[in-house]
Amino acid sequence: MHVSIATMTDNANAIASRNHCNICGKAFDRDTTELAPVHCNVRRFAHEVFHVWRCPDCRCMHCLEMVDLDHYYAAYEPHREELDFFMRLVYSEQLRRFRAAGLKRDHRFLDYGCGSGKLVSYLHTKGYANAVGYDPYGEALDLADRSVLEDGALDFICLQEVIEHVEEPRPLLAELSRLLRPGGCLLVGMPSGDDIDLGRPHEFKHHLHVPYHLHIYTREVLERLAGEIGLEPIAFYRRFYTESLVFGMNAAFFRGYMERLDDTVDALLEPVRIGTILRSPKLWFHGAFGYFYSGRHSTTVVFRKR
- Whether 230 and 184 have beta carbons less than 8 Å apart is answered as no
- The reply to whether 236 and 141 lie within a common domain is yes
Residue 259: which H helix or E strand, with range?
Answer: helix 251-260
- 189 occurs within a structural domain: yes
Q: Which of 73, 105, 121 is the C-terminal boundary of a domain? A: 73
Q: Note the pLDDT of residue 48.
A: 96
Q: What angle do CA 123, 132, 70 make, to 5 degrees?
A: 115
Instruction: Give the residue-averaged pLDDT of 64-71.
Output: 94
Q: How many domains does the chain have?
A: 3
Residue pLDDT, tens place only, 280-289: 999 999 999 9
Instruction: Give the residue-averaged pLDDT of 171-198.
Output: 97
Q: Note the pLDDT of residue 142.
A: 53
- The 8-class DSSP code of residue 44 comes to G
> What integer best gives the mean pLDDT of the chain?
91
- 5 occurs within a structural domain: no
- Whether 159 and 176 have beta carbons less than 8 Å apart is answered as yes
- 115 occurs within a structural domain: yes
- In the three-class reduction of DSSP (H, G, I as helix; E, B as strand; rest coil), residue 303 is classed as strand
What CA–CA distance (Å, rounded) separates 49 from 37?
A: 6
- The reply to whether 221 and 131 lie within a common domain is yes
Q: Note the pLDDT of residue 85.
A: 85
Domain that holds residue 265: 251-292
Instruction: Give the residue-averaged pLDDT of 180-184.
Output: 97
Residue pLDDT, tens place only, 219-239: 999 999 999 999 999 999 999
CATH number of the domain residue 194 falls in: 3.40.50.150
Answer yes or no: is pLDDT of 1 > 50: no
- The reply to whether 255 and 230 lie within a common domain is no
In sequence order, which residues have a C-beta less than 8 Å from that of residue 304 and are 6 or more positions away?
101, 183, 184, 185, 231, 232, 234
- The reply to whether 32 and 110 lie within a common domain is no
What angle separates helix 219-227 from helix 169-179, to the nearest 10 degrees?
Answer: 50
Q: Note the pLDDT of residue 81.
A: 56
- 6 occurs within a structural domain: no
pTM above 0.85, yes or no: yes
- The reply to whether 46 and 90 lie within a common domain is no
- 11 occurs within a structural domain: no
Residue pLDDT, tens place only, 37-67: 999 999 999 999 999 999 999 999 999 999 9
What CA–CA distance (Å, rounded) separates 262 from 44?
A: 11
Cα 271 to Cα 79, 84, 140, 266, 297: the distances in Å are: 13, 12, 26, 10, 26
Kindly indicate the confidence band of residue 11, based on its pLDDT and cuts at 50, 70 and 90: confident
- The reply to whether 95 and 112 lie within a common domain is yes
Cα 48 to Cα 14, 131, 190, 249, 299: the distances in Å are: 11, 38, 23, 29, 27
- 9 occurs within a structural domain: no
- The reply to whether 41 and 165 lie within a common domain is no
- The reply to whether 66 and 167 lie within a common domain is no
Q: Which of 73, 98, 119 is the C-terminal boundary of a domain? A: 73
Kindly indicate the confidence band of residue 3, based on its pLDDT and cuts at 50, 70 and 90: very low
Residue pLDDT, tens place only, 141-175: 555 456 677 888 999 999 999 999 999 999 999 99
Q: Note the pLDDT of residue 2.
A: 38
Residue pLDDT, tens place only, 100-146: 999 999 999 999 988 878 999 999 999 999 999 988 766 555 554 56
- The reply to whether 267 and 120 lie within a common domain is no
What CA–CA distance (Å, rounded) separates 247 from 283?
A: 10
Q: Note the pLDDT of residue 50.
A: 97
- 4 occurs within a structural domain: no
- Whether 126 and 76 have beta carbons less than 8 Å apart is answered as no
Q: What percent of the chain has pLDDT over 90?
A: 79
Q: Note the pLDDT of residue 123.
A: 97
